[in-house]
Amino acid sequence: MRAPLEQNSFLVLLVVVTLAFLMLLQPFYAPIFWAAAVALIFYPMHLRLLARWPGKPTLVAIASLLICTVVVVIPVLAVSASFITEGVAVYQKIQEGQLNPGDYLEKFRTGFPTAYHGLERLGVDFSNLGDQIMAGLKSAGQYLGKRALDVGQNTFRFFIDLGLMLYLTFFLLRDGPKLVNMLIRALPLGDDRERLLFNKFAEVTRATIKGNLVVAAVQGALGGLIFWILGIPAALLWGVVMALLSLIPAVGAGLIWLPVGLYLYAVGDTVEATVLILFGVLVIGLVDNLLRPILVGRDTKLPDYLVLFSTLGGLALFGITGFALGPLLAGLFVAFWQIFIEEFNMESASPEPAAPEAGQQRQGRPRKAD
């Protein structure tokens, strides 16, 4: 048995070296997280391929990685490039004066005079609202233009991160079980607890990312499709915006299609407005109400309100990655408290002493003297 001083010194150095290593990896947190997430999502498919070609883990990992690249990476890159292109085009129209928010506010005033004056009485200043919207659109356009410029200037860094993500995904697919078993042996939490936490991590990550992305893709595609059918400009741009907003539960794409529908009513396009609002409520909204509880809430075994608040909190703290990190932290929070309740709260688990029967109570009482 080693001396306590040696053991404590080793543990201190172990913590210091681990923290230093984590700081060393800080620039690559995003590629590492997304590599783990992609590996978890595609691991069931990887197991099926491995069952068909046993004894060839490297070849199967390469095949799984190629499928992941074709199914996820290439479409996301293509949609992102189209989104930035259309966003820059809208910004150029604003700069050239082809789009003026003041005209749309005037049409809203003439189309919905009661709502217009009601909002004025509530303190909405429509005289400066047009300028504020114009400034906001210009800022958004400048941001998209800057991001497009940054992507062009930092193409090397972008592809380095993408390559690191795919590289790590390959090893996580091939050696995932070995890495998990090594972590279970290293962590001092108890094997059963560690397996429970790793299972919860995999379960919540897979359900959150897969479920939210499926819901977002479906809602964005449906929203962009109905915008294109109705002849609304920049349908692809609005479709991507609706897909991004769909990551927010209970609100989502309605922040786009509902105001557009009201505007169509204001300008007299009653048929198009009715079609858009009915499609938004009955189709786009139904996708959120049906798919999200099935793909996210049921698989994560988290209540809907906890999914909502954790998603909003994750987006506020971590940006776009927070739609996955928020519910993941909520799932780990629930798992830790379940372990605590089951193993450490012994007082609530201990049986209460049985109350004596009425007859025994009467027998045990001292009798009064006659």
pLDDT, tens only, 315-370: 788 777 777 788 888 878 887 887 777 777 654 545 555 555 544 444 444 444 44
> Are 67 and 154 within one domain?
yes
Q: pLDDT tens for residues 210-261?
A: 777 888 888 888 988 998 898 887 788 888 888 888 877 666 788 888 888 8
> Are 267 and 131 within one domain?
no
Asked if residue 93 belongs to a domain, the reply is yes
At 352 the pLDDT is 52
Residue 141 banded pLDDT, cuts 50, 70, 90: low
> Are 181 and 239 within one domain?
no
> Are 259 and 123 within one domain?
no
> Are 154 and 254 within one domain?
no
User: In this structure, which long-range contacts are made by residues 178-182, counting pairs with CB atoms below 8 Å and at least 24 apart in sequence?
Assistant: none
Checking if the pLDDT of 94 tops 60, the result is yes
Asked if residue 240 belongs to a domain, the reply is yes
> Are 38 and 136 within one domain?
yes
Checking if the pLDDT of 46 tops 80, the result is yes
> Are 160 and 204 within one domain?
no
The Cβ-side half-sphere exposure at 348, using a 13 Å CA radius, reads: 6
Q: How far is CA 140 from the centre of its chain?
A: 22
> Are 166 and 253 within one domain?
no
pLDDT average, residue stretch 10-32: 88
Asked if residue 59 belongs to a domain, the reply is yes
> Are 197 and 337 within one domain?
yes
Asked if residue 15 belongs to a domain, the reply is no
pLDDT average, residue stretch 16-33: 88
The boundaries of the domain holding residue 301 are 190-345
Checking if the pLDDT of 132 tops 60, the result is no
Q: Which candidate, 314, 247, 321, places its Cα nearest to that of 30?
A: 321
Asked if residue 357 belongs to a domain, the reply is no
Q: Which candidate, 24, 294, 64, 97, places its Cα nearest to that of 176?
A: 64
In single-letter form, the type of residue at position 111 comes to G
> Are 336 and 301 within one domain?
yes
Asked if residue 21 belongs to a domain, the reply is no
Asked if residue 86 belongs to a domain, the reply is yes
| Tokens 């391929």 -> residue | 49
At 183 the pLDDT is 80
Distances (CA, A) of 197 to 16, 110, 192, 234, 308: 24, 58, 9, 45, 22
> Are 149 and 210 within one domain?
no
> Are 33 and 148 within one domain?
yes
DSSP sequence for 257-303 = HHHHHHHHHHTT-HHHHHHHHHHIIIIIHHHHHHHHIIIIIHHHT--
At 66 the pLDDT is 92
Number of domains in the chain: 2
At 17 the pLDDT is 92
Contact 296, 307 (CB under 8 A): yes
Question: What pTM was estimated for this model as a whole?
Answer: 0.65
Residue 266 banded pLDDT, cuts 50, 70, 90: confident
Quick check: helix, strand or coil at residue 370? coil
pLDDT average, residue stretch 17-27: 89
Asked if residue 243 belongs to a domain, the reply is yes
Domain boundary among 156, 186, 216: 186
Checking if the pLDDT of 77 tops 60, the result is yes
Checking if the pLDDT of 32 tops 80, the result is yes
